[in-house]
Amino acid sequence: MRSLAVVVVLASGLACAGTGSAARSVQHFFFAPGNTTSCQMDAAVPKIGTAAYCQTYPHTESVTLNAAGKLTICHGVKCIGNPPDQVPTLVYGSWLDAGPFRCTSTRAGVRCVVRRTGRGFLISPTSIARV
């Protein structure tokens, strides 16, 4: 796999929690089985905010979901970056929650939604669809 410039600033690690009276900050990184799709989930992360982001390579597309359910889809190499080292794989049938989001690993791809509304996306190695 070729090395690509990082598009999104990523911190290593699976999750980090805020301290004191500040809102709880959560961050997850994971690969879908097959390692062609990687995702980042952020909830109240300083300097990043709250969003669910996934990208696929070599199809070179990415999608960002905000807390209101709005999607931003990007096509081309400018839209993807390198995930951090030692990112785990989210096995089929497993899910992660971060703030308002739930991302689930399915055989069809990764499905990320705003839990309250069910709005979101399904990303596979070849396509992105709204759900």
**Residue 52 forms part of a structural domain:** yes
Give a yes or no: residue 96 inside a domain: yes
pLDDT confidence of residue 64? 98
Distance CA 18, CA 35 (A): 29
Residue 97 has pLDDT above 50, yes or no: yes
- Whether residue 116 lies inside any domain: the answer is yes
101-129 residue pLDDT tens: 999 999 999 999 999 999 999 999 999 99
Would 7 be classed as within a structural domain?
A: no
Q: Is residue 59 part of a domain?
A: yes
- Tally the domains of the chain: 1
| pLDDT tops 70 at residue 20 | no
Residue 7, pLDDT > 50, answer no
Residue 95 within a domain: yes
Residue 118: domain span: 26-130
Side by side, which strands form the sheet with 49-56?
Answer: 26-31, 37-45, 49-56, 61-66, 71-75
**pLDDT at residue 15 above 90?**
no
Task: Please state, in angstroms and rounded to a whole number, the distance separating the CA atoms of residues 27 and 5.
Answer: 21
Give the pLDDT confidence of 27-65 residue by residue, as tens digits: 999 999 999 999 999 999 999 999 999 999 988 999 999
E strands, the chain, in order: 26-31, 37-45, 49-56, 61-66, 71-75, 95-98, 101-106, 109-114, 120-123, 128-130
pTM (2 decimals)? 0.82
Domain for residue 2, yes or no? no
Tell me: pLDDT of 16 over 50: no
Residue 15 maps to a domain: no
